[in-house]
Chains A and B, each alone.
Chain A
Amino acid sequence: MTHELLNGLSSVEAEQVLKLGTKLIVPCGVSLFRLGDPADRLFLTERGRIKLTLPMRVRGREEDVFVEERSPGQTVGWSALIPPYRFTLAATAALFEAEVIALPREALLQYFAANPAAGYKIALNLAVVIGHRLQLFQTMWLREMQRTVEVRSA
């Protein structure tokens, strides 16, 4: 399994990072974390899919609306490394049970301090993940805005 967060790391470094974590099985439909929860662990998806949702009012009811899905190899919960360390989305295992590696923030920060070269690569990989999310949602936001403008000016 190749994890996007560990790109560029040697196999020894990748192994060291993975040993910091613990494997978690998330049954289908069960929450990995909820919106607003303290984010003290970052997750690497090993198996299954993690569905990210946000609450939205639909017909007067609070519903979790699909935002994004993460596949094996992808990172979930990078809020664990970004202040204020709170999850801004909710995550559940979609369709089937999922397996993730939970990496505690404290253990990661200690590893980065002891291995700055590996920490630098991981930080760059994390920037790619966050940057992609930013670009994706910026584009989606602009598309929605364009439609709003068209409707308003029609």
Chain B
Amino acid sequence: MDMLLIGLCVAVCGVAFVALAFVAAMHSESWNSPAQPELPLVKAVAPARFFSDRAPVPRAVPPLQVPIEVLLLQIENHVRLEQAAAESFLAFPSQALLHSKTTSPFVN
């Protein structure tokens, strides 16, 4: 009889423990899920290019359109630089001075 009672107690305790554990697990799940922080999206990993012959193709960047006043100033600056280069050639005519480079953004 004693053994039966002990076995019954152990069984009841076991069931109670399992039930408590189940409830606790359900509670923590339902409590945590709304506050789950959104994980940042992981960028797609570029394929490895080790020992690859192909250079990456740079993405075409559309040129920024400068205001027309700035463009006209750039043209004026270009003309002034070209005139200075031409004057240098006329002072000391040579093949090198005839085609000397300037810093004008129009030719660089």
Cα–Cα, bound, A58→B78 (Å): 15
Select which of B68, B80, B86, B107 is within 8 A of A136 by beta carbon.
B86
B90 and A136 contact, CB distance less than 8 A: yes
Select which of B72, B80, B82, B90 is within 8 A of A143 by beta carbon.
B82
Give the distance to chain A from B29, nearest Cβ to Cβ, in Å.
64
- Tally of contacts, chain A with chain B, CB under 8 A: 44
Segment of A59-67, A102-110, A114-122 engaged in the interface with chain B = A59-67
Cα–Cα, bound, A135→B72 (Å): 25
Chain B binding surface, main DSSP class: helix
In the complex, which range does the number of interface residues on chain B fall in?
A: 10 to 19
**Chain A interfacial residues counted at CB < 8 A:** 20
* Interface status of A95 (Cβ within 8 A of chain B): no
User: Which residues of the partner chain A approach B79 to less than 8 Å between Cβ atoms?
Assistant: 65-67
* Interface status of A68 (Cβ within 8 A of chain B): yes
Chain A binding surface, main DSSP class: helix
* Interface status of A140 (Cβ within 8 A of chain B): yes
B83 and A136 contact, CB distance less than 8 A: yes
Kindly supply a per-residue 1/0 record for chain B positions 53-83, scoring 1 wherever the CB is within 8 Å of any chain A CB and 0 otherwise: 0000000000000001001100110011011
Residue positions of A touching B, CB distance < 8 A: 56, 58-59, 61, 63, 65-68, 132, 135-137, 139-140, 142-144, 146-147
